[in-house]
Copies of this chain bind each other. A is one copy, B any other.
Amino acid sequence: MTDQNAAHKAKMEKIKAARDRMMAGKTGEKGLIIVHTGTGKGKSSSGFGMIMRAIAHDMPCAVVQFIKGAMATGERDFLETHFPEACRFVVSGEGFTWETQDRERDIAKAEAGWETAKEMIRDPRNRFVLLDEINIALRNDYLDIDEVVRFLLEEKPEMTHVCLTGRNAKPELIEAADLVTEMTLIKHPFRDGIKAQAGVEF
């Protein structure tokens, strides 16, 4: 072993010991309220990455998709085709507001989606529930933020994880959440005339 590598080893042993001490204090487990917000990419896709993990760990899971829904997406097709038992997939949206152009119908759809979401979260078999794009429905006041937060804090089973995605997450939701990530846009190819592409955006 070179001197440099020996010095590296000594330093890493110290870091490892400090880390082990720190991690020893982290023993709790609980179902988390997880929020993915911001204008960058990755809010929904990381939700679906967690769905992949949940399925791998035999944790029954469910997706309720708000707003989106008119358009076929890879993730929906994938889960409905390969894992209809492991992961329930419910679409409640019919497209963005400028597509549907019918606020009353959008509100009714969002409310129906929220009823389904509550059912999925209450179902004691489910361990992970993804509420995709629900933040848009909350931002548009299609759903009452106080009711959503109250339900998550008071009625969510203790060990169930719920992940809520979409830009412009309401402050009340961020306050109530355990794990919040903001996806920040640094660079996007739309600016260079590149369209949404299969495998990347849908």
Contacts and interface: CB of A to CB of B under 8 A. Distances in A.
Given A49-B49, A200-B50, A192 B5 contact: no
B56 A50 contact: no
A186 B193 contact: no
Given A9-B102, A104-B2, A195-B23, A47 B50 contact: no
B77 A200 contact: no
B28 A192 contact: yes
Given A56-B74, A199-B53, A200-B53, A186 B194 contact: no
A197 to B, nearest CB: 6
Contacts of A184: 38, 181-184
Nearest to A40: B181
Interface stretch (A13-21, A115-123, A148-156): A13-21
B49 A44 contact: yes
Contact of A48 (B26, B49, B182, B187): B49
A186 B195 contact: no
A38 B30 CA distance: 25
A115 B142 CA distance: 51
20 contacts: A8-B97, A9-B101, A13-B101, A15-B98, A16-B98, A25-B193, A27-B193, A29-B195, A40-B182, A42-B46, A50-B199, A51-B52, A52-B52, A56-B75, A56-B77, A57-B198, A82-B82, A178-B192, A181-B184, A183-B183
Q: Which 3 A-B pairs have the closest CB atoms?
A: A45-B49, A56-B74, A42-B46
